[in-house]
Amino acid sequence: MFEVQTIQRAGGNLAMNSNRILVVEDEAEIRQLIVLHLKRQGYEVHEVGNGEEAVRALSERDYQLVVLDWMLPGMSGLEITRWIRSREDFNVTPILMVTAKVEPEHIAAGLDAGADDYLPKPFDTLVLMARVNALMRRHQWLGQQNQEVMPSSVITVGALELRPDEYEITLDGVKMDLTKSEYKLMECLMGNQGKVLSRESLIKEIQGDGVNVVGRTVDTHVFGLRKKLGVHSEMIETIRGIGYRVKYQS
């Protein structure tokens, strides 16, 4: 069993960089291809070839994104993802999982472990960069939201505005008439703007407190939400065989 050793970060020695990416890939050709295209886009890139090196790198420096292979020597990408999400100091770092495991149950397992998005192998480099750029934008947007002083923790996504303290969501300034399940589902999706959420994770998030959601009822609720969103219905994106996400709105 691979043992994760926690390495303390050296205080005061971390140079902040809003464009630093860690690439974790054991196949040298694929790793070099990813690194090449990231650097062409102006990103600062650190590359490693196994899980132990990834843990060490993450413990020593700040990264704004991790591009992570699933099948790695020693420690799998799934284990690294769970380790990242267990850490208070950088558990919000976006993770793009690159995987040859393309069955829905594998992708769902990666997302449920904490990955923000996935990219099947073999991949197109244009798609790779689109996924990377989208996750970087989302990370920057979340950082800005956290810095702003918003007395009622208002979440704004395009024409939607969620006010948790008032338990309401408005669309173009008009309060939406939502069931309790629809509200909880929309709250979860808006709070994770740009992130793919599997049906299983959505059920876990919105279950309880008078809300009972099982199986494909998530799809039924999404159908109802899209009808109520009208011309804005496309902001809820279906990820075939996996679940849903609210598209990033700049």
For the chain, first and last CA: distance in Å?
A: 43
Phi, psi for 86 (deg, rounded to 5): -85, -10
Q: In what order do the strands lie in the sheet with 160-163?
A: 155-157, 160-163, 168-171, 174-175
User: How far apart, in Å, are the Cα atoms of 94 and each of 75, 170, 173?
Assistant: 19, 28, 31
Show me where the domains of the chain are located: 20-146, 149-246
pLDDT at residue number 144: 55
Phi, psi for 65 (deg, rounded to 5): -165, 145
* Range with the poorest average pLDDT among 9-13, 91-95, 212-216: 9-13
pLDDT band at 80 (very low <50, low <70, confident <90, very high): very high
Architecture of the domain made up of 149-246: Orthogonal Bundle (1.10)
* Nearest one of 113, 132, 106, 133 to 201, comparing CA atoms: 113
pLDDT at residue number 2: 40
- Whether the ω angle into residue 122 lies within 30 degrees of 0, i.e. cis, is yes
| pLDDT of 9 higher than 60 | no
Kindly report, residue by residue over 168-186, the tens digit of the pLDDT: 999 999 999 998 888 889 9
Please tell me the number of Cα atoms within 13 Å of 102 on its side-chain side: 7
Query: Percent of the chain at pLDDT above 70?
Result: 84
The CATH topology of domain 20-146 is Rossmann fold (3.40.50)
| pLDDT of 247 higher than 90 | no
Per-residue pLDDT, averaged over 113-128, amounts to: 91
Q: Which residue has the tokens 């809820």?
A: 236
